[in-house]
């Protein structure tokens, strides 16, 4: 099948470089089968489009994690997992619902992988579908709730047995994968803004961007106590001196152990699709940044962080 990325393919085989997420540029429209990679370490992208036959249909990425993408075909509405590094594909049973947010609990090769999908609340309540990978049918859960209490999830994150849903105002709702219960947690959200959410060391964080740029304005940590929640502003240093942040609209992550990699130490990488897919890098302490432009890849290429598993 050939290499997914060419000039930097060999160097990425080392254990250190294996931990560095790559930015996969997924062509989402018009039956696009051409895609590309951007290497944040070298600040370079492939000069050539890469054909991926497994992604020939018009596709949309719903979530990324554990080295895998959760993909939905816009033509057939079918769902499948795809590993861009190995090109392995795992098809899922047909899913009869519009998906607002999705997440999964583990690598789809794990027997414990649960797929979670969420549909925007309606007069009929909240609809959640779950699937234990390997099963043939989805399990539907419908919860009658006042839609005004939760504005509809923009992102779902798995943490400690629960799927956390975050709405545009920072309000929190949780779905317990074992008990199959849905709970809207009472508390105060935050002013609506572009935010990136990620899990690190068993905690959930939100990074708020400045309104006029892609620079991170502040880091907030979710605190849930006694059935209520709150967002606590913390310093980026609370994650550790050797942690590098990779933020994006399809999934974000904090990666430790990159302090000895030149160009990766104490950095924040933001993948943004305005006005074209590109990657912004800056030092966590002073905000000074530089842009690694993905060349001619326009806004129709979705920038997705993915780490080799």
Domain at 86, CATH number? 2.120.10.30
Residue recorded with tokens 């605190």: 223
Mean pLDDT by 10 residues, the chain (309 residues): 33 54 79 74 63 77 93 84 92 87 95 92 80 94 75 82 84 89 78 77 85 70 83 86 87 87 80 63 68 60 84
Query: Which residues, listed in sequence order, are joined to residue 139 by a DSSP beta bridge?
Result: 130
pLDDT number for residue 4: 32
User: How many of the other CB atoms lie within 10 Å of CB of 49?
Assistant: 16
Domain hosting residue 213, numbered range: 11-306
Whether residue 4 lies inside any domain: the answer is no
Tokens of 15: 């254990």
Pairing label, strands 301-306, 181-187: unpaired
Residue recorded with tokens 């809207």: 184
Whether residue 277 lies inside any domain: the answer is yes
pLDDT number for residue 237: 81
Distance CA 169, CA 172 (A): 9
User: Please, how many CA atoms are within 13 Å of residue 134, restricted to the half-sphere of its CB?
Assistant: 9
Virtual torsion, Cα 10, 16, 19, 21, nearest 10 deg: -50
User: Please, how many CA atoms are within 13 Å of residue 149, restricted to the half-sphere of its CB?
Assistant: 15
5 contacts 237 by C-beta, under 8 angstroms: no
Whether residue 1 lies inside any domain: the answer is no
Q: How many domains does the chain have?
A: 1
pLDDT number for residue 5: 33
Whether residue 79 lies inside any domain: the answer is yes
Distance CA 98, CA 72 (A): 11
Whether residue 3 lies inside any domain: the answer is no
The whole-model pTM stands at 0.85
Distance CA 159, CA 210 (A): 27
């Amino acid at each position: 099948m050939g290499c997914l990325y060419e000039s930097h393919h060999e160097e990425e085989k080392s254990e250190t470089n294996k931990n560095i997420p790559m930015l996969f540029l997924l062509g989402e429209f018009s039956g696009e089968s051409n895609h590309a990679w951007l290497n944040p370490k070298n600040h370079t992208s492939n000069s050539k489009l890469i054909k991926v036959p497994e992604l020939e249909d018009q596709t949309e990425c719903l979530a990324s994690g554990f080295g895998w993408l959760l993909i939905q075909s816009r033509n057939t509405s079918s769902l499948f997992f795809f590993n861009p590094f190995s090109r392995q594909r795992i098809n899922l049973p047909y899913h009869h619902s519009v998906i607002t947010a999705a997440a999964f609990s583990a690598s789809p090769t794990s027997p414990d992988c649960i797929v979670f999908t969420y549909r925007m609340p309606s007069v009929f309540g909240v609809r959640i579908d779950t699937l234990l990978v390997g099963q043939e049918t989805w399990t539907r859960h419908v919860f009658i709730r006042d839609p005004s209490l939760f504005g509809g999830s923009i992102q779902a994150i798995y943490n400690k047995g629960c799927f956390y849903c975050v709405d545009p105002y920072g309000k929190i709702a949780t779905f317990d994968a074992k008990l199959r219960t849905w709970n809207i947690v009472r508390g105060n959200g935050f002013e609506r803004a572009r935010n990136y959410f990620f899990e690190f060391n068993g905690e959930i964080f939100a990074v708020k961007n400045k309104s006029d740029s892609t620079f991170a304005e502040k880091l907030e940590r979710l605190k849930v106590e006694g059935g209520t929640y709150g967002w606590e502003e913390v310093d980026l240093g609370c994650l550790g001196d050797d942690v590098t942040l990779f933020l994006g609209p399809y999934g974000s992550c904090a990666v430790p152990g990159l302090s000895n990699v030149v160009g990766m130490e104490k950095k924040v990488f933001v993948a943004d699709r305005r006005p074209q897919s590109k990657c912004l890098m800056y030092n966590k302490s002073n905000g000074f940044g530089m842009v690694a432009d993905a060349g001619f890849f326009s806004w129709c290429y979705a920038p997705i962080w993915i780490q080799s598993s």
